[in-house]
Amino acid sequence: MKKRWFVNDFNIKKQAEELGVSVWQAPSLLFLAMGVVSVIVMLVIYFISKNHTSPEYLVLAEVFVVTTIFVAGNTIITSLERLAQINKMKSEFVAIVSHQLKNPLTGINWDIELLISKYKDGLTQKQLDVIKKINNSNILMTRLVNDLLDVARIDQGNLFVSKEKFDIKEVIKKIIVKNDLLAKQMNIKIELDIPEDIPQIVGDEKRLEVAIDNLFSNAVKYNKEGGLVSIEIKKEKKHLEFCIKDTGIGIPDNEQDQIFEKFYRSEKAIRKETGGTGLGLYIAKNIIEECGGKIWFKSYEGEGTEFCFTLPLA
């Protein structure tokens, strides 16, 4: 777990890291320095002018202040230009990776689909089992690539969510089936508290499937042997409220305000399962919020966690 660095309230070290420059080039520090220099020079001028009346000192002081401002300003502008360039490279990187990596992964996915749905004749069960395993690995790879690309897009404010009406019940069913194997392995019981007729919600069906799957699979993954995961859906006036509760390891108090951060993984989570990117909650939160919802949670270490979120009705 990263220790928090507090250089001072202006978070200069963090800013320097994010811009990729040394602490002495961080804009906040430079502004502070400029301000301090200006104040000092003005005090010096004041005291000097009290004892001398020659303008040379004034001019000298002016020159000093202006030089400081130019140097500081120039360094700041250089940092900003560098940042703009890095941003541009990031966009190009995302576009290239999208195309180069996702095309072959899609190719594998579609060819397996063709094999299983149209060219199944003559394949033994054993062969079909192996193909299913290849498919699962491919699904994992695709998911990871998608997660990384989502994160890059979220950072650039470029995440796309469509606004369509759809049935969330179907999505929930898919997610439960997806996580069925894992739940069985850990002997987890799944409880549903969902009203019979749920009105359609508005949002991006595919992305919300990813978001909710992240929450649900966490509830299963970080649970105790023989534990419980419950999904509750409540109908409100303008939205649906979802709650996914587990009897798992819980999130320690001191980690709770970092849990939605990119790449953040709780110590306990890492100890329980080494795989995991720390992107799931970051992405889920962004998708839900882009779709017009809110997300929050309650957690007690050693007892369990409950994540709740809302999604607008159609």
Residues 234 and 314: their CA atoms lie apart, in Å, by 15
Answer for which of 106, 127, 136, 137 binds another protein (CB under 8 A) is 106
Per the CB < 8 A criterion, the answer to whether 205 and 171 are in contact is yes
Of residues 106 and 185, the one with the C-beta less far from another protein? 106
Answer for which of 29, 76, 159, 311 binds another protein (CB under 8 A) is 159
Sign of the alpha-carbon dihedral angle for 279, 281, 284, 288: negative
Residues 304 and 251: their CA atoms lie apart, in Å, by 8
Task: Give the Cα-Cα-Cα angle 110, 112, 115 (nearest 5 degrees).
Answer: 110
Answer for which of 94, 208, 215, 281 binds another protein (CB under 8 A) is 94
Taking the complex as a whole, the smallest distance from the CB of residue 90 to another protein amounts, in Å, to: 11
* 99, two tokens: 């195309």
Of residues 139 and 190, the one with the C-beta less far from another protein? 139
Answer for which of 5, 47, 93, 110 binds another protein (CB under 8 A) is 110
Answer for which of 62, 81, 113, 191 binds another protein (CB under 8 A) is 113
Of residues 93 and 296, the one with the C-beta less far from another protein? 93
For residue 193, the cross-strand partners are 232
Residues 15-54 that bind another protein (CB under 8 A): none
Residues 122 and 228: their CA atoms lie apart, in Å, by 42
Output the CA–CA distances (angstroms, integers) from residue 296 to 71, 120, 121, 170, 299, in the order listed: 46, 45, 49, 23, 10
The site for another protein, by CB under 8 A, has a size of: 29
Decide if residue 314 touches another protein (CB under 8 A). no
For residue 165, the cross-strand partners are 202
Decide if residue 105 touches another protein (CB under 8 A). yes
How many other C-beta atoms lie within 10 A of the C-beta of residue 204? 19
Decide if residue 3 touches another protein (CB under 8 A). no
Residues 139-158 that bind another protein (CB under 8 A): 142, 145-146, 149, 153, 156-158
| DSSP secondary structure letters along 243-258 | EEEE-B----GGGGGG
Output the CA–CA distances (angstroms, integers) from residue 186 to 13, 223, 247, in the order listed: 44, 8, 12
Taking the complex as a whole, the smallest distance from the CB of residue 98 to another protein amounts, in Å, to: 5
Decide if residue 122 touches another protein (CB under 8 A). no
* 78, two tokens: 């250089």
* 29, two tokens: 């520090």
Answer for which of 103, 124, 125, 274 binds another protein (CB under 8 A) is 103
Decide if residue 170 touches another protein (CB under 8 A). no
Answer for which of 38, 68, 75, 98 binds another protein (CB under 8 A) is 98
The candidate with the shortest Cα–Cα distance to 199, out of 291, 314, 57, 90, is: 314
Answer for which of 39, 66, 95, 186 binds another protein (CB under 8 A) is 95
Decide if residue 102 touches another protein (CB under 8 A). yes
* Binding site residues, another protein, CB under 8 A: 91, 94-95, 98-99, 102-107, 109-111, 113-114, 117-118, 142, 145-146, 149, 153, 156-160, 206
